[in-house]
Amino acid sequence: MELITSITRYLSIVAILIRIVQSLPYLPEEADWNLNQNQTATHPLDYSGQWDDHIYNPSPENWRFPFYTIFLDRFVNGDPSNDNANGTQWEHILTSNEFRNGGDVLGLIDTFDYIQGMGIKGIYLAGTPYINFPWAADGYSPLDLTLLDHHFGTIEDWRTMISEAHRRGLYVLLDNTFATMGDLIGFQGFLNKSAPINPNEYDYVWKYERRYWDFQPGNEVESECPWEHPRFWDDNGSGLTTTTLGSSCRNSEFDQYGEVAAFGNYTEWEGQISKFAFVQDRLRGWRPDVLAKIKHFSCLTITMLDIDGYRVDKALQVTLDYLGEWSEHMRYCAKQVGKDNFYIPGEIVGGNSFGSLYIGRGHQTNQTISNMTEAFMMTNKTHKSDEDLFLRPAERAALDGAAFHYTLYRGLSRFLGLDGIYTAEGDPPVNFVETWNGLVETNDMVNTNTGKFDPRHLFGVTNQDVFRWPGIKNGTQKQNLGLYIASLLMPGIPIVSWGEEQDF
Ligand SMILES: *[C@@H]1O[C@H](CO)[C@@H](O)[C@H](O)[C@H]1NC(C)=O
Ligand SMILES: *[C@@H]1O[C@H](CO)[C@@H](O)[C@H](O)[C@H]1NC(C)=O
Ligand SMILES: *[C@@H]1O[C@H](CO)[C@@H](O)[C@H](O)[C@H]1NC(C)=O
Ligand SMILES: *[C@@H]1O[C@H](CO)[C@@H](O)[C@H](O)[C@H]1NC(C)=O
Ligand SMILES: *[C@@H]1O[C@H](CO)[C@@H](O)[C@H](O)[C@H]1NC(C)=O
Ligand SMILES: *[C@@H]1O[C@H](CO)[C@@H](O)[C@H](O)[C@H]1NC(C)=O
Ligand SMILES: *[C@@H]1O[C@H](CO)[C@@H](O)[C@H](O)[C@H]1NC(C)=O
Ligand SMILES: *[C@@H]1O[C@H](CO)[C@@H](O)[C@H](O)[C@H]1NC(C)=O
Ligand SMILES: *[C@@H]1O[C@H](CO)[C@@H](O)[C@H](O)[C@H]1NC(C)=O
C-alpha cells in the first residue's frame, strides 16, 4: 500500500513535469470534461471522440418554430456541487451580476416541462460550453475549444440534457466564437493602454502563467507571409476593399495587429483581424492550419454532444471566405452522423448590406435581385447565367440567417418610439412589408441543404446583448406589440430571451 502510494506520487510528479514541457492533450483529471477521447493523440487534428452506442438526432426538415435563448449560468442551478468548480474566491457570487450564479445543464433539464409547455422547440444556449476564466459566467471567452466548463456539467450531464431535449422534440443550438478566445495575450508596450491597428503586428507577451493548449502566438517576422491574406469587403458591402496590410506577417497562430473596441470607429476589416473589445484574443483563422483545427474542434463538439446547430458569434468579424469553408465542413461533419439540415445562423450586428455578404451564397450591393418572383423561385443550383449574382457556390453558403435580426430590431426600436439613430447601411425601410421585401431582394434565403427558399432569420424583440423593454415606460406593451410583429408577421423563426414570457 505504502509502496503503491509513493509510486503514484512519483508518477504524478513525473506527469506534472511532462505537462510543463509538452502539452499533453489527454489529462486523466479532465476526462469527464475533455471532448477529446483519444488518449494517445498529441496533435490536435488527432483528437477524436464519438458518442458510442447512440443514435444521433436527425435534423428537422423545417426550422421555423419558436426558439428560446438562455444563459445557462443565469437559469437554473441543478447541481450546486459545481458552483465553485475552480475553487477560487471570485467565482460563484449570487448577489453580484459580475460573477457566476450557478446555473447548469442539469438545471436546464429540470425546466423542460416549462419550456416545452410554452410551445418552444428550439433552445439556443448563449455563450460557448467551453472552459472560460473561473468568473466568466457568459462563456464567450473560451480558453480551450475541446474542454467543457466544469461549472456547467460533465460530458455525461450534457448528454443527459441533450438526450432529454431530443426525446421531447426540442433542438439544441450552441454558440461558436470561431476565432476569438479568452484574454491571455497582450501586446508588448501596450499592456496598460490600447494597441491601435498596426499593419506590421505587435510582439505578443503572455499576460499570465496560463497558456492555450492547442494554439501558439509567435513573434518571428515572415517578410513574405506564407499564407494568403483574406479578401476583405468594404463596410457598405459593395465590393472588395484594400487594406494597409503589407506582404509580411508574424509566424503566429494569432492575429497580432492590435485591438479595437466592441463598437466604434473602425472599418469591418480591422475588426476581423484584431483582438475583440480588448479582451478576446483572435486566432489567425485565415491561416489554413489554424482553420483546420477550428473546424476539427467544432466537429468534435457535434460528434460528442449531438447538437443540432451552431450560432456563430460576432459572425461579421469572421473573414468571409473562411466562414464559408467552416460552414461547409460543419454540414459535412453533421451529415456523417445523419444530420442533413444542420442549422448555422450567425450574429449580424451591422447593416443589412454588409450582412448580406454572409447569408447563403452572398450578395454584394450590386447583386440585388429586384424581381421577387425570381428570388422566391431560386434553388441551390447556381445557373451559369446567375453566377454573377452570388459571391460563392452553394457548397460554401456561410450563414443560414441572422441569429437575432438587428435590422428588424432597429426598425422595431423606431416603431416602438425610441429616440436615436436606428438605421444602418443598407437596412430596408421600417414599414414591415417593405422590410421583408428588402430582405428577400438582398439576402440569399435558399437553404443550401434542401435547395428550397427557406427563410431562417431569428426574429426577436430583445436578446442577451440589448436592454429589456419592461424597464422603460409602457415597455411591457411595447415588447408585446414587437413580439406580434417578430412572431406573426415576419416570415422566419421567432425567438424570445428568457423571462420575456413573464414580462421581464
Ligand atoms: C489517435 O491518435 C493517434 C496518434 O497518437 C492517431 O494515430 C489515431 O489515428 C488517433 N485516433 C483517432 C480515432 O483519430
Ligand atoms: C482554475 O483556474 C486556474 C487559474 O485560472 C487554472 O489554472 C485551472 O486550470 C482552473 N481549473 C479549472 C478546473 O477551471
Ligand atoms: C501598468 O500600470 C500599473 C499601475 O499604474 C503599473 O503598476 C504597472 O507596472 C504597469 N504595467 C506596465 C507593463 O506598464
Ligand atoms: C458607403 O455608403 C455611404 C452612403 O451611401 C457613402 O457615404 C460612403 O462613402 C460609402 N463608403 C464606401 C467605403 O463605399
Ligand atoms: C474615425 O477614424 C478616422 C480614420 O482613422 C478619423 O479620420 C476620424 O477622425 C475618426 N473619427 C472619430 C469620431 O474618432
Ligand atoms: C419576374 O420573374 C418572373 C419569372 O422569371 C417573370 O415571369 C416576370 O415577368 C418577371 N417580372 C418582371 C416585372 O420582370
Ligand atoms: C458585382 O460586382 C462583382 C465585382 O465586385 C462582379 O464580379 C459581378 O459580376 C457584379 N455582379 C453584377 C450582377 O453586376
Ligand atoms: C441542393 O439541394 C439538393 C436537394 O434538392 C441536394 O440534394 C443537394 O445536395 C444540394 N446541393 C448542395 C450544394 O448542398
Ligand atoms: C404610455 O401609455 C399611455 C396609455 O396609452 C399613454 O397615454 C402614454 O403617453 C404612454 N407613455 C409613454 C412614455 O409612452
Tell me the pLDDT tens digit for each residue of 21-34: 344 478 899 999 99
Query: How far is 458 from 120, CA to CA, in rounded Å?
Result: 13
Q: Whose CA is nearest to atom 4 of ligand 9?
A: 474
- The set of residues, in sequence order, having a beta carbon less than 8 Å from that of 365 and lying 6+ positions away, is 236, 237, 238, 353, 356, 426, 442
**Residue at 424 is within a domain:** yes
Q: Give the distance (Å) from ligand 3 centre to CA of residue 139.
A: 28
Q: Which residues of 306-330 are buried (b: 16+ CB within 10 A; e: fewer)?
A: bbbbbbbbbbbbbbbbbbbbbbbbb
Number of neighbours of residue 377 by Cβ within 10 angstroms: 10
| C-alpha cell of residue 20 | 510543463
Ligand 9 pocket test target in 473, 474, 479 with most atoms within 8 Å of CB: 474
Nearest to 106 by CA among 170, 60, 153: 153
Q: Are 224 and 342 contained in the same domain? A: no
Ligand 6 pocket test target in 374, 377, 437 with most atoms within 8 Å of CB: 374
Amino acid at 468: R
Atom number in ligand 8 closest to CA 380: 1
Query: Is the CB of residue 474 below 6 angstroms from any atom belonging to ligand 9?
Result: yes
Mapped onto helix, strand or coil, the DSSP state of residue 117 is: helix
Indicate which ligand has the atom closest to the C-alpha of 190. Answer: 3
Atom number in ligand 3 closest to CA 191: 13
Q: Give the distance (Å) from ligand 6 centre to CA of residue 372.
A: 8
Q: Which residues of the chain have pLDDT under 50?
A: 1-24
Q: Are 338 and 437 contained in the same domain? A: yes
Atom number in ligand 3 closest to CA 192: 1
pLDDT of residue 54: 98
- Number of domain units in the chain: 2
Residue with cell 510528479: 13
Ligand 2 pocket test target in 86, 92, 154, 207 with most atoms within 8 Å of CB: 86
| C-alpha cell of residue 269 | 476589416
* Cα atoms in the Cβ-side hemisphere of radius 13 Å centred on 439: 28
Atom number in ligand 1 closest to CA 43: 4
**Residue at 22 is within a domain:** no
Q: Are 342 and 485 contained in the same domain? A: yes
**Residue at 223 is within a domain:** yes
pLDDT of residue 169: 98
Q: Which of 284, 312, 329 is the last residue of a domain?
A: 284
- The set of residues, in sequence order, having a beta carbon less than 8 Å from that of 396 and lying 6+ positions away, is 321, 324, 325, 327, 328, 361
Between vectors from CA 77 to CA 73 and to CA 82, what angle results, nearest 5°?
A: 80
Q: Are 190 and 83 contained in the same domain? A: no
**Residue at 184 is within a domain:** yes
Atom number in ligand 8 closest to CA 381: 1
Stated pTM of the model: 0.93
Query: Which domain, by its residues, includes 298?
Result: 28-179+288-502
Q: Whose CA is nearest to atom 11 of ligand 6?
A: 371
Q: Whose CA is nearest to atom 3 of ligand 2?
A: 86
Ligand 8 pocket test target in 331, 383, 449, 453 with most atoms within 8 Å of CB: 449
**Residue at 220 is within a domain:** yes
Q: Which of 224, 250, 284 is the last residue of a domain?
A: 284
User: 68 phi and psi, to 5 degrees?
Assistant: -130, 135
Mapped onto helix, strand or coil, the DSSP state of residue 466 is: coil
**Residue at 12 is within a domain:** no
Atom number in ligand 7 closest to CA 387: 9
pLDDT of residue 45: 97
Query: Is the CB of residue 376 below 6 angstroms from any atom belonging to ligand 6?
Result: no
pLDDT of residue 10: 38
- The set of residues, in sequence order, having a beta carbon less than 8 Å from that of 196 and lying 6+ positions away, is 258
Q: Are 121 and 206 contained in the same domain? A: no
Indicate which ligand has the atom closest to the C-alpha of 197. Answer: 5
Atom number in ligand 2 closest to CA 208: 5
pLDDT of residue 307: 98
Q: Are 137 and 274 contained in the same domain? A: no
Q: Are 342 and 310 contained in the same domain? A: yes
Q: Where are the alpha helices (DSSP H) in 197-309?
A: 268-272, 288-305
Q: Are 486 and 422 contained in the same domain? A: yes
Residue 12 to residues 34, 36, 346, Cα–Cα distance (Å): 19, 21, 44
Q: Which residues line ligand 3 (CB under 6 A)?
A: 191-192
Query: Is the CB of residue 388 below 6 angstroms from any atom belonging to ligand 7?
Result: yes
For residue 434, the domain's CATH number is 3.20.20.80
Q: Are 185 and 203 contained in the same domain? A: yes
Q: Give the distance (Å) from ligand 1 centre to CA of residue 46.
A: 5
Amino acid at 200: N
**Residue at 240 is within a domain:** yes
Indicate which ligand has the atom closest to the C-alpha of 210. Answer: 2
pLDDT of residue 18: 38
Atom number in ligand 6 closest to CA 372: 1
- Determine the length of the chain: 504
Q: Look up residue 36 and give its DSSP letter.
A: -
Q: Whose CA is nearest to atom 9 of ligand 9?
A: 474
Q: Are 242 and 320 contained in the same domain? A: no
Residue with cell 436578446: 463
Q: Are 246 and 172 contained in the same domain? A: no
pLDDT of residue 9: 40
Q: Give the distance (Å) from ligand 3 centre to CA of residue 135.
A: 23
**Residue at 337 is within a domain:** yes
- The set of residues, in sequence order, having a beta carbon less than 8 Å from that of 4 and lying 6+ positions away, is none
Atom number in ligand 1 closest to CA 47: 14
Q: Look up residue 280 and give its DSSP letter.
A: B
Query: Is the CB of residue 182 below 6 angstroms from any atom belonging to ligand 2?
Result: no
Residue with cell 450552441: 174
Q: Whose CA is nearest to atom 10 of ligand 1?
A: 46
Q: Look up residue 500 and give its DSSP letter.
A: G
Q: Which of 284, 315, 347 is the last residue of a domain?
A: 284
Residue 374 to residues 371, 379, 436, Cα–Cα distance (Å): 5, 10, 15
Q: Are 32 and 142 contained in the same domain? A: yes
